[in-house]
Structures are given as structure tokens and as C-alpha cells.
């Protein structure tokens, strides 16, 4: 990590002397070795699978490496073209290779159907950041989303409980596999069994998967899936096996043996979730949630743990996850296959694009690409949801990563029409005090601050005041001019997987949250939004989110005066879920935000000059 930071700093300094930003210092993932001009690089991709050497001379690229490596070189050159001024790609030599074999994203289309256009958009974004896996979760309780010609009853309307009748035809499935292959991305389809099979049971009338009919039909569906693409194009099949909790989902081991053999008899690699049921012959397991340590089981694994499940993550929290959560923390190099982002939007959606908007899918792809490609030298659990202080040497990694992502947002994503809800935050400075006025932390360089995180694995990365009480967040913003502007303000941070509970209902009209949180700018209260669905609680999975979180609603309006402005967020806590505060002045819209130029932040009025 130190080499990367030193190299990035040196290149940034070189660019500063040239008086302009340099696209070589904005690539994602960050390449291992970069030489400007005709200088040589004392490194080689050697025998690294997927490695490459890219040379650009006079705006024309040449690449060396295996077939995958040459594709990665083209992806790097494409980024350079899009980041640079027209016709201004600099001469350079770049040598790079991936740390992990698999780098991907899982899109849950079983719970919520997403149209083929959006699926392709996500795959194209993955490819542009050198991901090579699209894990397609196709079946769940709400619908069996892949057409079956052997068992067309799976597509009858009565089988669906969401997006009724919406599924992917076999022709569309083949189209997506071909689209992904052309971009160096392998589709891993998942037929989740025996859990998450309510749609299957409703369609077939089989109430108990322990029956011989269920065993046979699910085996036939695996066979049919494997006819849709050759094993060279679709080498892995995922059978789920997680959360088999209902009585009708309890099956004998012989059923699992049979389904597993169907996959391997079709020449495919068998993949399943861990924790999950035992699948004989499984060659890849996918770790999910918690801190699931796979030591003792030498099966190679893919990491999808903790905040790699981005449906639980605030967009401004993504930076700390990307910088400090180490993919594949355990085992030998041979066991560490890579990492997959999880996009589990359990709740119903109002429209297809809500999945990518509300889960900040495109910022997550950009931010996490670096760690998925390069790995991290050290896992930093105390920093998963809390950036280090600016005087901490570890801070440089987050600041460098953020600078690159903002360049991509402004030069690539702003032209795409796709939502990219992320603004820079490492220049911010907050002070946190408790109910007695004791300073708990200062110089906090974040837009989203967690006094208390809702995941046990993340508690050590929050600031941990007493479980109940009040914390106050304050910053002093120096503005070069008076202005009215937008601001992201949030005090709940709902998960998109049934985050609205009795402990954390959506606010009522006139509230920022149920605990009575407030925000003031220069002593003037900032009113909360006129919530479209106030006071929702309980188990509202079928009530779509609309404006509950800051990044998918219209920004609040605030007034800044010329000179020093005092921002104060008061966050009471009376038990329950998250303890969270977010504040960031922005220009533009929530889908396409930008920082407001010229603002400086201080964590004490004494620091303002």
C-alpha cells in the first residue's frame, strides 16, 4: 500500500507542476506501475494471468499479455481516452495485473425484475472497471425469472408475487451471456434451492421439496439451464442453498447430492453460499454476511461479506469500505478467488432503475474496483465505517481513491445519464461531542458519521458513545460568497432490505427521525422534507422506498453566508437501529451531484482564519 501511495503522490506532484490534472493519475483500478512519456518500467506482467503491458505513443496503444490481459489493456486505454482532453492521451507505459481471479457483482433479479437494458448497463460498467463476473440471481420467493420450456408453469401469473409475469426469455438470457462475453465478463447464473423457492412451489403445486417430484423437476431445470450456453461461456452454476428455513424447504442430503451431480455432469463448476447446505463436489463457495472465517474448509472461496453487501450501505460510507475492507482475508493464495458485490434489494421497487439508484451501484463499482483488482495489504475493521484522521498515514489511501472517483464521476458518468450519487468528503472536518459536551472526536473527514453502527462487525468502526443519549456534530464552513444551495442531509440510513422497522420507522411529517434529530445552519433550523410516506414501520417489504434517504430524494435547501457558517446536527438516541448523521452541501441533483467549489471545513471556530 505504501508503494501505491508514494507513487500516486509523486505522479500527482508531477501533474501539479504541469498545471493540470493528468488522466494517468485518475485511472481505476490504480495501476501497479506507470511511467510517463518514453520512460521504461522496471516491472513485468510476467506469468500473472490477466496481466498486461500497455504502451501509448502518439495517441496509439499497443499491448502485450495473454488474451485477458490484452482486454484489460484496452479497458485501461479506453479510460485514458475518456478522462483526457480530446486527443490528449499522454505517452506512457503501464504494467498491471489482477490480484484475484474473480471480481464481480451480484444483481438480485429474483425479488425485483430489472429490464434487460439495465442488466446490460451494469455489465458494461463492470467491464469498464475490469470486473469479470456477473452473478445473476434469477430465482427467489417472488418469482422464477428464467423462462423454462420444459416447465412453463413456472411462468404462469399465479406463481409470481412481485412483478407478475416478468421474466427473462431464454433468448434474452443468451443475449445477456453473449453481451457479457464480448466484454470479458462471465455470467454466473443462480437457481437458488431449496430455500427461497416459494415461487417454484406455487407454480408446481409441490408444497414439500423433500418429494421425489421436486427433486426431479429441479434437476431438469438445472439441465435446461446448462443447455442455454456452452460450458466455455458459462463455466459456473450457482445453486444457492442458503436460508432453507421453512418446513417445505427441508430436504434430505440425497436431493442435494442429486442436484450437485446435475451441475457437474453438465461440465460446470458448482458454486454455493456459505453458510449454506452441503453440496458434494462444490468447488467454489461464496461467503456472505458477518465475518464468516472459512479456515478449516479448504474450498476456494469468493468474498461477499460485510459491506460488500451494498444494499446496507450509505453511498458516502462506500469510501471507507473500499479503502479498508480487505477482500479475502483468510486462507492460502489458492483459496482466495476474489470478491463479489452483493446488490440485494429485498424490498419492492417502484421502477427498475431504483435498484441502481438506491443502492449506489455505479459509485460502488468504481470505488470497490481498486481493492477487488489490487487487494489490500491489511484489513482495517476499525475503519470500515470511519475514515482515519487526516494526520493518520492511512488517510492518504482514501483521499487518493476519492479523487480518482470524483474525476470519473465528472468526466465519464456525468455524460452517461446513469445515476452516480457520490460527492467528495475527505475535505470535510467535523467535531463530535456527547450530551455532557465532552469531545468524542474531531477532524472527522466524512459526510456520513456513525456514532453507532447497526452491524456488530462494524461497531468497532463507530465512535461508540453511550448507547442512549445525545451526540452533536458540528462543522464551521468558510464560504467565499453568500449562496443558497442544496445539501444532502440524513439521519436514519435505511437499508434497502427491510430497513424500516418498529425501531427505525420512516419519520413523521415535521421529523428528521423518530428520535427528534435536528440540523441548524447559522442557528436557523433546516426543516425536514415533506415525506411522501411518513411513519411507515413494521414489515413494509411491499411498500417501495421513495424519498427516505438523502441520495435518492431532492436535496434540502440551505443558506450559506459569505465567511464563516456554523452547522450543527443534534442526534438524540433512544435505542433501536442505526445512529447516523449525514451532511454535505452539493450542486446539481442527487443523481448527478457535485461539490460546491471554494468551501473549506474546520472542526473548531478557533481554526477559522
Cα 536 from Cα 539, distance rounded (Å): 9
Cα 67 from Cα 152, distance rounded (Å): 40
**In terms of Cα–Cα distance, which of 421, 411, 392, 401 is closest to 319?**
401
Q: What is the pLDDT of residues 396-418, one digit of tens each?
A: 999 999 999 999 999 999 989 99
pLDDT number for residue 295: 64
Q: Is residue 15 predicted with pLDDT exceeding 50?
A: no
Q: Is residue 156 predicted with pLDDT exceeding 50?
A: yes
Cα 396 from Cα 381, distance rounded (Å): 17
pLDDT number for residue 427: 98
pLDDT number for residue 39: 86
| Cα 244 to the center of its chain, rounded Å | 26
pLDDT number for residue 577: 72
Cα 13 from Cα 2, distance rounded (Å): 16
Q: What is the pLDDT of residues 432-461, one digit of tens each?
A: 999 889 999 999 999 999 988 766 666 677
pLDDT number for residue 130: 98
Q: Is residue 304 predicted with pLDDT exceeding 90?
A: yes
pLDDT number for residue 18: 33
- Over residues 483-487, the mean pLDDT reads 98
- Over residues 560-576, the mean pLDDT reads 92
- What single DSSP character describes residue 362? H
- Which residue's C-alpha cell is 439521519? 491
pLDDT number for residue 589: 97
Domain 102-383 class? Answer: alpha beta
- Over residues 516-531, the mean pLDDT reads 97
DSSP bridge partners of 469: 573
Exposed/middle/buried for residue 335 (C-beta within 10 Å: 0-12, 13-18, 19+): middle
- Over residues 362-386, the mean pLDDT reads 95
pTM of the model: 0.95
- Over residues 21-30, the mean pLDDT reads 91
Tell me what the pLDDT averaged over the chain comes to. 92
Helix (H, G, I), strand (E, B) or coil at 485: strand
Buried b (16+ CB within 10 A) or exposed e, 237-261: bbbbbbbbeeebbebeeebbebbbb
pLDDT number for residue 263: 98
Grid coordinates in use for 128?
Answer: 469498464
Complete DSSP assignment for 68-103: HHHHHHHHHHHHHHHHSPTT-PPPEEEEE--SSSEE
Grid coordinates in use for 436?
Answer: 455532557
328 to each of 137, 140, 178, 301, how far by Cα in Å?
22, 27, 29, 8
Complete DSSP assignment for 434-451: -TT--EEEEEE--SEEEE
Helix (H, G, I), strand (E, B) or coil at 174: helix
**In terms of Cα–Cα distance, which of 185, 65, 69 is closest to 131?**
185
- Over residues 285-303, the mean pLDDT reads 81
Complete DSSP assignment for 396-424: HHHHHHHHHHHHHHHHTGGGT-S------
- What single DSSP character describes residue 507? P
Q: Is residue 150 predicted with pLDDT exceeding 60?
A: yes
For the chain, the C-alpha Rg in angstroms (whole number) is 25
Among 145-159, 224-238, 445-459, which is the least confidently predicted range? 445-459
- 92-96/33-36 β-pairing: antiparallel
pLDDT number for residue 8: 42
Grid coordinates in use for 291?
Answer: 465475518
Cα 316 from Cα 322, distance rounded (Å): 11
320 to each of 43, 325, 395, 467, how far by Cα in Å?
30, 8, 10, 23
pLDDT number for residue 20: 39
Q: What is the pLDDT of residues 176-210, one digit of tens each?
A: 999 999 999 999 999 999 999 999 999 999 999 99
Q: Is the pLDDT higher at 454 or at 486?
A: 486
pLDDT number for residue 607: 80
What percent of the chain clears pLDDT 70, i.e. is strictly above it? 92
Helix (H) or strand (E) holding 206: none
- Which residue's C-alpha cell is 434469477? 138
First to last CA, the chain: 35
Q: Please, which pLDDT band fits residue 44 given cuts at 50, 70 and 90? A: low
Q: Is residue 594 predicted with pLDDT exceeding 90?
A: yes
Q: Is the pLDDT higher at 497 or at 226?
A: 226
- 92-96/133-137 β-pairing: unpaired
Whether residue 528 contacts residue 581, with contact meaning beta carbons closer than 8 Å, is answered with no
Complete DSSP assignment for 307-342: GGBGGG--GGGHHHHHHH--SS-SS-TTTEEEEEEE
Helix (H, G, I), strand (E, B) or coil at 359: coil
Residue ranges per structural domain of the chain: 2-96, 102-383, 395-607
Q: Please, which pLDDT band fits residue 12 given cuts at 50, 70 and 90? A: very low
Q: What is the pLDDT of residues 271-281, one digit of tens each?
A: 999 999 999 98
| Cα 593 to the center of its chain, rounded Å | 18
pLDDT number for residue 151: 98
**In terms of Cα–Cα distance, which of 126, 50, 78, 201 is closest to 418?**
126
Cα 555 from Cα 127, distance rounded (Å): 31
Q: Is the pLDDT higher at 40 or at 566?
A: 566
Q: How many residues comprise the chain? A: 609
Cα 344 from Cα 335, distance rounded (Å): 25
The total of other beta-carbon atoms located within 10 Å of residue 439's CB is 11
Amino acid at each position: 500500500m505504501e508503494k501505491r501511495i508514494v507513487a500516486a503522490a509523486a505522479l500527482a506532484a508531477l501533474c501539479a507542476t504541469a498545471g493540470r490534472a493528468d488522466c494517468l493519475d485518475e485511472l481505476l483500478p490504480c495501476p501497479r506501475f506507470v511511467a510517463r512519456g518514453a520512460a521504461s518500467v522496471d516491472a513485468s506482467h510476467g506469468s500473472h494471468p490477466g496481466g498486461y503491458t500497455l504502451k501509448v505513443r502518439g495517441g496509439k496503444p499497443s499491448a502485450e499479455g495473454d488474451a485477458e490481459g490484452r482486454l484489460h489493456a484496452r479497458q485501461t486505454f479506453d479510460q485514458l481516452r475518456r478522462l483526457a482532453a480530446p486527443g490528449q492521451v499522454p505517452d506512457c507505459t503501464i504494467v498491471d495485473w489482477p490480484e484475484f481471479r474473480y471480481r464481480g457483482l451480484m444483481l438480485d433479479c429474483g425479488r425485483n425484475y430489472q429490464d434487460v437494458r439495465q442488466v446490460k448497463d451494469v455489465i458494461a460498467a463492470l467491464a469498464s472497471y475490469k470486473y469479470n463476473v456477473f452473478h445473476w440471481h434469477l430465482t427467489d420467493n417472488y418469482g422464477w425469472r428464467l423462462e423454462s420450456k420444459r416447465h412453463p408453469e413456472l411462468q404462469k401469473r399465479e406463481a409470481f408475487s412481485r412483478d407478475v409475469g416478468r421474466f427473462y426469455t431464454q433468448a434474452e438470457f443468451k443475449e445477456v451471456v453473449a453481451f457479457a462475453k464480448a466484454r470479458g465478463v462471465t455470467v454466473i447464473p443462480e437457481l437458488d434451492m431449496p430455500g427461497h423457492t416459494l415461487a417454484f412451489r406455487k407454480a408446481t403445486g409441490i408444497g414439500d421439496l423433500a418429494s421425489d417430484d421436486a427433486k426431479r423437476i429441479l434437476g431438469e431445470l438445472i439441465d435446461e439451464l446448462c443447455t442455454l450456453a456452452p460450458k466455455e461461456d458459462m463455466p459456473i452454476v450457482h445453486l444457492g442453498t442458503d436460508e432453507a428455513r421453512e418446513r417445505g424447504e427441508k430436504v434430505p442430503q440425497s436431493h442435494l447430492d442429486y442436484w450437485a451431480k446435475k451441475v457437474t455432469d453438465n461440465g460446470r463448476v458448482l458454486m454455493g453460499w456459505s453458510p449454506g447446505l452441503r453440496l458434494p463436489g462444490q468447488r467454489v463457495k461464496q461467503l456472505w454476511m458477518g465475518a464468516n472465517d472459512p479456515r478449516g474448509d479448504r474450498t476456494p472461496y469468493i468474498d461477499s461479506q460485510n459491506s460488500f453487501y451494498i444494499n446496507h450501505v450509505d453511498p458516502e460510507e462506500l469510501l471507507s469500505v473500499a479503502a479498508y475492507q480487505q477482500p479475502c482475508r483468510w486462507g492460502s493464495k489458492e483459496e482466495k478467488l476474489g470478491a463479489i458485490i452483493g446488490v440485494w434489494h429485498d424490498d419492492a421497487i417502484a421502477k427498475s432503475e431504483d435498484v441502481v439508484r438506491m443502492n449506489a451501484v455505479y459509485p460502488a463499482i468504481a470505488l470497490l474496483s481498486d481493492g477487488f483488482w489490487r487487494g489490500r495489504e491489511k484489513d482495517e475493521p476499525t475503519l470500515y465505517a470511519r475514515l482515519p484522521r487526516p494526520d493518520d498515514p492511512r488517510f492518504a489511501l482514501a483521499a487518493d481513491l476519492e479523487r480518482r472517483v470524483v474525476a470519473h464521476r465528472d468526466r465519464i458518468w456525468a455524460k452517461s445519464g446513469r445515476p452516480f450519487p457520490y460527492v467528495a468528503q475527505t475535505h470535510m472536518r467535523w467535531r463530535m461531542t456527547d450530551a455532557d459536551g465532552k469531545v468524542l472526536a474531531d477532524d472527522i473527514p466524512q459526510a456520513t458519521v456513525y456514532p453507532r453502527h447497526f452491524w456488530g462487525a462494524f461497531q468497532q468502526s463507530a465512535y461508540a458513545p453511550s448507547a442512549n443519549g445525545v451526540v452533536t456534530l458540528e462543522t464551521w464552513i468558510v464560504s467565499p460568497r453568500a449562496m443558497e444551495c442544496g445539501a444532502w442531509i440524513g439521519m436514519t440510513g435505511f437499508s434497502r432490505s427491510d430497513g424500516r422497522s418498529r425501531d427505525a420507522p420512516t419519520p413523521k411529517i415535521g421529523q428528521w427521525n423518530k428520535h427528534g434529530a435536528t440540523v441548524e445552519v447559522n442557528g436557523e433550523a433546516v426543516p425536514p422534507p415533506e415525506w411522501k410516506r411518513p411513519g411507515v414501520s413494521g414489515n413494509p417489504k411491499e411498500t417501495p422506498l421513495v424519498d427516505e434517504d438523502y441520495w435518492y430524494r431532492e436535496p434540502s435547501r440551505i443558506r450559506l453566508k459569505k465567511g464563516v457558517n456554523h452547522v450543527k446536527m443534534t442526534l438524540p438516541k433512544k435505542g433501536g437501529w442505526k445512529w447516523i448523521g449525514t451532511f454535505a452541501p452539493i450542486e446539481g441533483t442527487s443523481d448527478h451531484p457535485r461539490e460546491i467549489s471554494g468551501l473549506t471545513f474546520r472542526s473548531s471556530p478557533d481554526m477559522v482564519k
